[in-house]
Structure 1
Amino acid sequence: MTKKRIFWLVLSAFFLLLLSQLYFTPEKTKRIAGKASRIITDMKGRSFNVADPIDRIALLGGPTGQVAFILGVQDRLCAVTNTLKMSKLVQEMYPKIQHLPGPRTTSGSINVEELIQSNPDIAIAGDLDGRIVLDKTRIPVAFLEDSMGDGIADMKREIRFYGYVFNTPERAERYVAFLERIITLVTERTRDIPASQRKRVFQGYSPSHLVTLGGDTFMQERIELAGCLNAAKSVITIGKRAGLHAGLGEISMEQVLDWNPDILVINYGKPKEFINDPQWHHIRAVQNNHIYAQPAGVFIFNRPTMESAVIFPLWLASIAYPERFKDVCVPDLVKKFYTEIFQFDLSDQQTHDILRGTYEFKMMKGIKNKG
């Protein structure tokens, strides 16, 4: 081995040692040592010490970013995901988001150096991201139960967990109460619909519209809450498909033709594009022009988020059975949700953009342009 090679190896080792100590500068140690602490237990049952109060939060999960706004702790964020930074609605609600570090891009992809430099009191993450942070830093990590099978009960449990961690239980309960009011409203108006008259819904994601959420995902419950049937109920997707996000599965055009859904929900393209497409021409939803862009707000609705738990069943039920919701103004309820829960007053245009899926289109366009 040459002297030059030995020199660079030693220099590299020194640099890595220095980097690993950045989080534990004397200033950081004093700040934590001089501050009260408490023991918390995360959703995996792990107990550990954290600063009290928690002033600097790293939220490392796409769907989790919105809870900071629900609980009113957005000013405590010190690191978020790039996806949250690119959310057009978040940028309108909280322009400061664009100046925060975004060390997490996709699941399992974290810029550890950037995360350390953001100086968090705690990081909240799913299994894969949380394990990376634990293995490569000494930042306290609270693990979430991040599953595409999460239902309404899981949403309540998760927001209450966040309320417990951030000492904002009253805000968490405010969300739970609103969620329960909407679910009650929807189910009371749809529960007596005979099985033979329930609308069959197919969600066709991606440019091909042949990627969907199966019957083992959170979407099964959301569709049923709206009084509808999931055309893809028989599709098992969680952990089954390589190259796709967990919970999303590819199906064939033949399957869609066989299901012949009454309602088609898409997240790419425009509904009118289906009218003259011979592949889709024989689908009942296309023939009756019941093609809709999936709503999207702070985050996309094909993930189990706090937003979609409230908005999606209400929206779907209202378009599937408009006669049962004649006296319900869905845009007004959406505005009320953001005012009471997010403490943000939506304009008519923003409300329209949420319900028409415009925010997802804007986000995807931003990702494409950035990439």
Structure 2
Amino acid sequence: MSFKKYTSYIYTGKMLAVFMIICISILSACSSGKQSNMPASSQEAKAAATQGEASGSLPKTREITDMAGRKVIIPSEVNKVYSSSAIGTVTMYTLAPEKLAGWNFALVPGEKKYIDKKYHDIPALGAWSGKKGAANVEEIIRLKPDFILSMGNVDDTQVSAANAIQDQTGIPVVMLDGPLTGMDKAYELLGEYIGEQERAKELGSYCKQAIAETKAMIDKIPEDKMRRVYYAEGPKGLQTDPSGSFHTEVLDFVRGINVADILAQKGTGMSNVSMEQVLSWNPDIILVSVDKEGDLSQGGFYSEVFNDPSWAQIKAVKDKKIYEVPAYPFNWFDRPPSVSRVLGVKWLAGLIYPEYVPLDIEKEVKEFYSLFYNKSLSDSEVSELLQRARAK
């Protein structure tokens, strides 16, 4: 080969090398210029997962799509979960209590009675939602849960909140919708995320069947037999939530007519109403919310209403059709609007429409508490739960 040809080959090779370097540089710049919705920690986790798959070993993380359509990187093996609200905390406790990183608030004695002692003293970490929302961010970060569960309404506001929590803590946030009629799907997905598929299927199947069976009965109730109901909240019973509110799903589902002709209060609900409004609505039935912070031994509004002359002319008071919602360990109707509402649907439907929904409520309560809370109830414990919650 001549020297001229040799130098020509070298020159061509150098030019190709320079061209390849330029192309790689351009591609790298384009890639780095793209913005990602994932926090840096999630991007690193995704890279680690990809490397694990490439090497043939089990990846340490995986990408899921939550119920808000968000792509989230979580550990392949989940051992601890913190929920940003009590809705998710109750769901986690029923599904896998050993994986619950903490309660939102310290348990009160009435709750402890129905909860396994080994979980009484797990930390109270606060919440990002509710009227007392104040999460202990430093402690949550220190405990290092595998992900934070955001369960409840899935809307733009809650998605923004979830993204903000994820950015603030550096911990992935997984969103689940939690409607009364969709708990089977919520359990299915959460069970998949935390590796508890069999237990999730069991709980989800109960929810789906209970909702379907109750609906089949209440759908047969004639319009003229539907009962008018007032949901009394607050220490004086003069706060409430209207039909269509997240807080009154149970009443809407069982086809009770919510008499509260008011606009829904955003956020935590509990719209203020006047005594004159309640008198004008004149409900057939009053459901009384329980404030666990109060001294229940003093009876609260439930006891006072029978002796208050301002309520005396209301039909529900005259007929003694005032019922206190069972609230332990978790409320059957609202606050938090958790899976306990599935039992609440059976209770309320049978309470206000006994001729159309013939249920053995004692048997239903025992079955639910055994399955969801792993608590075998005695007859006396069932009677205590229902003491103010059934027809006299």
Do both proteins adopt the same fold according to a TM-score greater than 0.5, normalized to the shorter chain?
Answer: yes
The structural deviation recorded for 1:121 is 1.3
1:164 maps to what in 2? 192
Query: Given that residues 114 and 373 in structure 2 are in contact (C-alpha distance below 8 angstroms), is that contact kept between their aligned partners in structure 1?
Result: no
Query: Given that residues 214 and 247 in structure 1 are in contact (C-alpha distance below 8 angstroms), is that contact kept between their aligned partners in structure 2?
Result: no
Within the alignment, does 1:94 sit opposite 2:116 as a pair? yes
| 1:336-355 alignment runs, 5 A limit | 336-355=367-386
Match for 2:237 among 203, 209, 212? Answer: 209
Match for 1:39 among 60, 63, 66? Answer: 63
| 1:1-371 alignment runs, 5 A limit | 36-71=60-95, 73-82=96-105, 85-86=107-108, 88-90=110-112, 92-105=114-127, 107=129, 108-125=133-150, 127=158, 130-131=162-163, 133-145=165-177, 150-153=179-182, 155-232=183-260, 234-239=261-266, 246-268=268-290, 269=300, 271-300=302-331, 301-303=333-335, 305-326=337-358, 328-356=359-387
Query: Given that residues 79 and 102 in structure 1 are in contact (C-alpha distance below 8 angstroms), is that contact kept between their aligned partners in structure 2?
Result: yes
The structural deviation recorded for 1:228 is 2.1
Instruction: Report Cα offsets for 1:336-369 as digits up to 9, x if no partner.
Output: 11223333322334333443479xxxxxxxxxxx
Aligned partner letter, 2:307? N
Instruction: Report Cα offsets for 1:70-91 as digits up to 9, x if no partner.
Output: 22x11122233115x3473356
Structure of higher RCO (CA pairs closer than 8 Å, 6+ residues apart)? 1
Q: SS of 1:93's equivalent?
A: coil
Whole-Å Cα distance in 1 between the matches of residues 190 and 128 of structure 2?
22
Q: SS of 1:331's equivalent?
A: helix
The structural deviation recorded for 1:35 is 7.0
Query: Given that residues 297 and 307 in structure 1 are in contact (C-alpha distance below 8 angstroms), is that contact kept between their aligned partners in structure 2?
Result: no
Q: TM-score, normalised by structure 2?
A: 0.71
Q: CA RMSD in A?
A: 2.8
Whole-Å Cα distance in 1 between the matches of residues 109 and 339 of structure 2?
14
Q: SS of 2:287's equivalent?
A: strand
Aligned partner letter, 2:268? A
Whole-Å Cα distance in 1 between the matches of residues 379 and 59 of structure 2?
45
Whole-Å Cα distance in 2 between the matches of residues 259 and 249 of structure 1?
15
Percentage identity across paired residues of the two chains = 28
Q: SS of 1:203's equivalent?
A: strand
> How many correspondences in the alignment?
314
Q: SS of 1:333's equivalent?
A: helix
Aligned partner letter, 1:343? N
Q: TM-score, normalised by structure 1?
A: 0.75
Whole-Å Cα distance in 1 between the matches of residues 306 and 114 of structure 2?
34
Aligned partner letter, 2:188? R
Query: Given that residues 221 and 356 in structure 2 are in contact (C-alpha distance below 8 angstroms), is that contact kept between their aligned partners in structure 1?
Result: no
Q: SS of 2:339's equivalent?
A: helix
Query: Given that residues 150 and 174 in structure 2 are in contact (C-alpha distance below 8 angstroms), is that contact kept between their aligned partners in structure 1?
Result: yes
The structural deviation recorded for 1:130 is 3.7
Query: Given that residues 112 and 120 in structure 2 are in contact (C-alpha distance below 8 angstroms), is that contact kept between their aligned partners in structure 1?
Result: no
The structural deviation recorded for 1:129 is 6.3
Query: Given that residues 330 and 336 in structure 2 are in contact (C-alpha distance below 8 angstroms), is that contact kept between their aligned partners in structure 1?
Result: no
Whole-Å Cα distance in 1 between the matches of residues 103 and 303 of structure 2?
36
2:3 maps to what in 1? none
